[in-house]
């Protein structure tokens, strides 16, 4: 089982990069940089590539709508080059609020577009001339939609690897099934190891049944907040504002993927109340309404023995990468948490 860390995107990136350098020394395997309506993830990953030497780096995730498929592939090849083959391309659809509200791009056909983006990226990395006639992307652009002067081109540079790993952030059953079929890894969010099979098991099995064996096993990521110790009970409260943001504010009232997930976990009434408070601007009350049991179910928080039991549960559920968020007061404590987790995983 690998240990990764998802970095914050709202500020303080240089300080976080310094933390990644320290965590690399104690065995952190993967650093993931998200992208929302923040600084872009790509420039920050280039900075991390220069500051580190062994840790794997990934976007977690970039929306498929905000760059052309060829640009996504070019960018991934460039980051793989500057990191000496340490990059993974994390993709996702994001949601209408970000895609349409911030980028002004229609949020349409998420499944079809995801499949075609993956196929085009892999053609670029193999340095094939881009001739692609999909439902959503056409390369070159046909004469009736352009000048007719476009010609099939291939990437000028030779990528470090012709197969750069791709993981996909997915929550809905159809998207999870697609991910299990075509991706190298799957990044869900708010993973409860006791409910992975009941919520996503059928979709994972259906996707794996269609999976190309040459892709190898699917890397399944858990995303728990992390705090280990006899005196970390207060960290439960640290998680609640983030959960309130996602369940209450990441999407419209009738289209919020994270609210839907909490409902499938059995917290439907609580999710409704959190959303009601959050959308009314009562964010502190929304955070307070997040149940302790929900936080515990998706976290690694508590004494070492309890956390070790929870790690074993993640492994039993098929998780192969723990993408943690250390709930630490300083760098030293974050390093200690990762060191302790490393011994449990080992």
The confidence score (pLDDT) of residue 253 equals 83
- The arithmetic mean of pLDDT across residues 260-266, rounded, is 94
pLDDT tens digits for range 313-326? 999 999 999 999 99
The confidence score (pLDDT) of residue 84 equals 98
Say whether pLDDT at 250 is over 90: no
The confidence score (pLDDT) of residue 95 equals 85
pLDDT tens digits for range 7-24? 987 667 888 899 999 999
Give the Cα separation of 70 and 185 in Å (integer): 21
> Alpha-carbon dihedral of residues 101, 103, 106, 110, nearest 10 degrees?
-100
Tell me the whole-structure pTM to 2 decimals.
0.94
What architecture is the 1-225+299-343 domain classified under in CATH? Alpha-Beta Barrel (3.20)
Q: Report the candidate in 119, 117, 126, 118 with the shortest Cα–Cα distance to residue 155.
A: 126
The confidence score (pLDDT) of residue 316 equals 97
Domain ranges in the chain? 1-225+299-343, 229-298
Residues of the chain with pLDDT > 90: what percent?
92
Least confident of 92-106, 156-170, 265-279: 92-106
Give the Cα separation of 337 and 16 in Å (integer): 16
Give the Cα separation of 209 and 195 in Å (integer): 21
Please list the alpha-helical segments (H only) found in 83-195: 96-99, 110-125, 173-182
């Amino acid at each position: 089982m690998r240990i990764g860390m998802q970095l914050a995107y709202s500020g303080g990136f240089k300080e976080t990069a310094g933390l990644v350098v320290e965590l690399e020394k104690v065995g952190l395997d993967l650093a993931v940089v998200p992208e929302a309506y923040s600084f872009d993830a790509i420039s920050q990953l280039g900075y991390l590539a220069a500051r580190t030497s062994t840790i794997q780096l990934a976007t977690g995730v970039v929306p498929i709508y905000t760059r052309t498929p060829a640009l996504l592939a070019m960018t991934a090849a460039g980051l793989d080059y500057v990191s000496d083959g340490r990059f993974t391309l994390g993709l996702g659809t994001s949601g209408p609020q970000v895609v349409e509200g911030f980028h002004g791009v229609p949020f349409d056909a998420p499944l079809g577009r995801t499949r075609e983006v993956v196929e085009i990226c892999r053609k670029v990395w193999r340095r094939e001339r881009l001739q692609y006639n999909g439902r959503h992307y056409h390369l070159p652009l046909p004469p009736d939609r352009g000048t007719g002067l476009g010609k099939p081109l291939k990437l000028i540079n030779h990528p470090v690897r012709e197969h750069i790993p791709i993981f996909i952030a997915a929550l809905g059953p159809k998207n999870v099934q697609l991910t299990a079929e075509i991706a190298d890894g799957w990044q869900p969010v708010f993973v409860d190891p006791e409910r992975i099979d009941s919520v996503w098991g059928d979709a994972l099995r259906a996707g794996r049944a269609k999976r190309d064996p040459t892709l190898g096993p699917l890397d399944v990521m858990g995303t728990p907040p992390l705090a280990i110790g006899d005196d970390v009970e207060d960290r439960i409260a640290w998680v609640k504002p983030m959960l309130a943001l996602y369940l209450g504010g990441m999407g419209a009232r009738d289209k919020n993927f994270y609210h839907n997930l909490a409902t499938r976990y059995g917290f439907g009434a609580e999710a409704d109340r959190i959303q009601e408070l959050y959308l009314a601007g009562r964010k502190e009350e929304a955070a307070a309404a997040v149940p302790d049991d929900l936080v515990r179910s998706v976290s690694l928080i508590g004494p070492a023995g309890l956390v070790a039991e929870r790690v074993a549960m993640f492994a039993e559920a098929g998780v192969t990468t723990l993408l943690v968020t250390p709930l630490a007061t300083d760098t030293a404590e974050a390093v200690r948490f990762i060191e302790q987790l490393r011994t449990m995983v080992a």
